[in-house]
Structure 1
């Protein structure tokens, strides 16, 4: 149902539900380009197939259709702020479709989600969402949109649970669910140190993702009691990457080297780095988007950390069945944000302010991407697994914790 203004009602929980199977996951290859443009400030996420199809029509005509939002006193009004037009429209629609699936799967009849198009202006979308009486905002996707939305939501005492992975926009009523790159760096360095690796080096791209990864790497090595031997940075060109890899290879004895870049660039750098001595290669969550890495013999045996690879397959299968296309990888954030909302909604009186304090639950939340909890800055801290690259794909060598 398309409503007046910028709102588009994506879910009517009074209609008949279709499909209640619990989601299971196998990672799709669609998030690797985050490294090319930094964080979600300039998100370009490539799906396995072209973008998701337009969702099917509701099973029943929507009730109370009129020129404005229907009067609703028995359900929680939740706004979903994502791009529905423009460059990132396919990503936004995949997230919106996943929220629909989550409501159907959980049979949540107390939550009503209305979608607002941030591509028409994130601030305007937030103002309309607040005016429509929404008490919680899910999204937006891009960090600059979070910056625009935050003061409007804060003034209305409406918490924001964003899909951004930019930790700089978190805090003061803003929570972020995106995959923060530093966490995978910390996890894999800690694992490598526990396995006896002492002397560390790193190859880091010159972009926002690289800056965050570098800071996390230095802190992780120090916290694990390791020794930082050398780091090299490079511009995004083959020549610059090759030159940086050669400088790092000759910098001194190293037990392990982190390459904080997509798998394709790691493949170019690893033979050079290994040519100067047998070193354990480490990667980030970006590698989990490229199952072909094992096709390069030099990459076999490398380690990387990412969200658990166990709960996405069934979600992707159900999504394709319902919408006719494969989902974008970030769709899981939309699904999990609804699971979180539904859990809190059990003790949340409709029409009252969202109980934001419950987001700080010590036991955290569970979802498609495993367990997570928000720290005091509003950043989702995730339980990550460590995988090893092999000829036939990835093998989990250190599972993600099942509880905190």
Structure 2
């Protein structure tokens, strides 16, 4: 069964809403959902969770908040929950965070991420031309340019037709494959990464 911990912030509420929608769509029972707004409440959450985790009543723990994930790793360790007893799952916000990579208890945790290959290829090209690293979101600008010049869209009749924009196969951008949904949302093919000592490694390739 699954449990989750969310900060009492606007972003935390968005994360919680997405989590609840996902468990509903996947028909997965959420054993417990916790909220916290300060260290005292975070410690209280771990005190409630620790017996359930140690007893194996919860096997997956979702901790999406990047800033507090290392602290929860430390608190779980202090509470005596054996490392590896529960599968910790983070969010895409975890990607590249050195504090998370430096927290021993979080080794083995997994999280989704946009494939870094496109950014790394752009980074080398960009640095060679401009002498500095590109912004992390610069790949979106490149992808927008690629999309705007796609012949199937730019030369179509009508141009940029909705049915073409929402093709299930999507498009290939700098960050990999993505697609627009009829409801106005979008999806990216994401890889799964696993926290290693001091870093992270891809453990599952990009999938939509």
The equivalent of 2:200 in structure 1 is 394
Query: Which of 345, 364, 369 is the equivalent residue of 2:170?
Result: 364
Are 1:338 and 2:145 counterparts? yes
Tell me which protein shows more strand as a share of its residues: 2
Deviations 1:309-349 (A, max 9, x none): 22211201222222232221111111111111111455158
Q: Does 1:223 align with 2:25?
A: yes
Matched, 1:260 2:67: no
Distance, in Å, in 2 between the alignment partners of 1:347 and 1:382 is: 25
- The question of whether the paired residues in 2 share the 8 Å contact of 1:230 and 1:251 is answered with no
Q: Where in structure 2 are the equivalents of 1:226-375 lying within 5 Å? A: 226-235=28-37, 237-250=38-51, 253-262=57-66, 264-274=67-77, 275-276=80-81, 278-344=85-151, 346-348=154-156, 354-357=159-162, 358-375=164-181
Contact 1:242 1:268 (C-alpha < 8 Å) held by counterparts: no
- Write out per-residue CA displacement over residues 86-121 of structure 1, whole angstroms, 9 at most, x where no aligned residue: xxxxxxxxxxxxxxxxxxxxxxxxxxxxxxxxxxxx
| SS of residue in 2 equivalent to 1:366 | strand
Distance in 1, Cα, partners of 2:137 & 2:42: 28
CA distance in 2, matches of 1:304, 1:310: 17
Report the Cα offset of residue 276 of structure 1. 3.6
Which sections of structure 2, spanning at least 5 residues, go unmatched?
none
CA distance in 2, matches of 1:219, 1:362: 21
- Alignment partners' CA distance in 2, 1:370 and 1:379: 17
Provide closer, same or farther for how the CA distance between residues 269 and 204 of structure 1 changes in structure 2, counting only shifts above 3 A. same
- Please, what is the CA RMSD of the aligned residues? 2.3
Shift of 1:272: 2.4
Q: Distance in 2 between matches of 1:323 and 1:239?
A: 47
What is the rounded CA distance, in whole Å, between the counterparts of 2:154 and 2:186 in structure 1? Answer: 22
TM-score, normalised to structure 2, is 0.84
TM-score normalised by structure 1 residue count: 0.45
- In the TM superposition, residue 250 of structure 1 has moved relative to its aligned partner by 4.7
Whose relative contact order is higher, 1 or 2, with alpha carbons under 8 Å and at least 6 apart? 1
1:363·1:373 contact (CA, 8 Å) conserved in 2? Answer: yes
Matched-pair contact (CA < 8 Å) for 2:154–2:160:
no
Q: Compute the displacement of 1:298 (Å).
A: 0.3
> What does the per-residue CA deviation read over 1:111-160, in whole Å, with 9 as the maximum and x for residues that have no partner?
xxxxxxxxxxxxxxxxxxxxxxxxxxxxxxxxxxxxxxxxxxxxxxxxxx
Distance 1:328 1:239, change over 3 A: farther
SS of corresponding position for 1:289: coil
The structure with the larger Rg is 1
Secondary structure in 2 matching 1:378? coil
Alpha-carbon displacement from aligned partner over 1:282-327 (angstroms, at most 9, x marks no partner): 1000111314533221010001011112221120122222223222
Structure 1's unaligned 5+ residue stretches are 1-198
